[in-house]
Amino acid sequence: MELIRRNGVELTLAGARVVLEAAVEHAQSLGLKMVVAVADSGGWLVALFRMDGAKLTSVDIAMNKAFTAAGTRKPTHEYAEIGGAGGAAFGIHASNQGRFTVFGGGVPIFVDGQCIGAVGCSGGSAEEDRMVAEAGIAALLRCA
């Protein structure tokens, strides 16, 4: 039996900054003011930018989206239906001290088939938040 595993891939601050730059640039091109948060594979914040004029309350939301996408290894929009009213996992949003986010904008980052972290965006629609997060990740994957 394998007691420890030695093939880990980790996100660095340098990598997180590439994500932030690209995400902020993409949000700007869409005329959006966002908070962009990058977490590691444990859901811990690595770096965060709040664009000028973005909502203050988006700070918490973006962090929670990154936390949720890292922790579940899934984009948060996949929880919109099952975690919503009448869904099979309704109420899951109260778990993890209320940090579990059930709407779009949190996207995990996969490298070599492994989740190395996640991006959480808040400030636009759930769909826009997701697109911006994906733009940030795409930039990282091009460079890494």
- Decide: 106 and 118 in contact? Cβ < 8 Å: yes
One residue of 32, 66, 116, 131 binding a copy of itself per CB under 8 A: 116
Tell me if 7 contacts a copy of itself by CB under 8 A: yes
| DSSP-assigned beta bridge partners for residue 119 | 38, 107
Residues 70-109 close enough to bind a copy of itself by CB under 8 A: 70-74, 80, 83-86, 88-98, 100-104
Distance in Å, CB of 122 to a copy of itself, minimum: 9
| Minimum distance from residue 26 beta carbon to a copy of itself (Å) | 15
Q: How far apart are CA 38 and CA 46, in angstroms?
A: 6
Provide the token pair at 101. 């986010």
C-alpha distances out from residue 140 to 21, 60, 110, Å:
10, 23, 10
Size of the site for a copy of itself (CB under 8 A): 74
Q: Which of 22, 27, 40, 106 binds a copy of itself (CB under 8 A)?
A: 40
> Can you give the length of the chain in residues?
144
Nearest CB to a copy of itself, comparing residues 111 and 134: 111
Task: Report if residue 8 touches a copy of itself, rule: CB under 8 A.
Answer: yes
- Is the CB of 84 or the CB of 134 nearer to a copy of itself? 84
Q: Report the Cα 42 to chain-centroid distance in Å.
A: 12
CB of 138 to a copy of itself, least distance (A): 13
Q: Does 64 bind a copy of itself (CB under 8 A)?
A: yes
CA distances in angstroms from 79 to 89, 116, 127, listed in the order given: 8, 20, 13
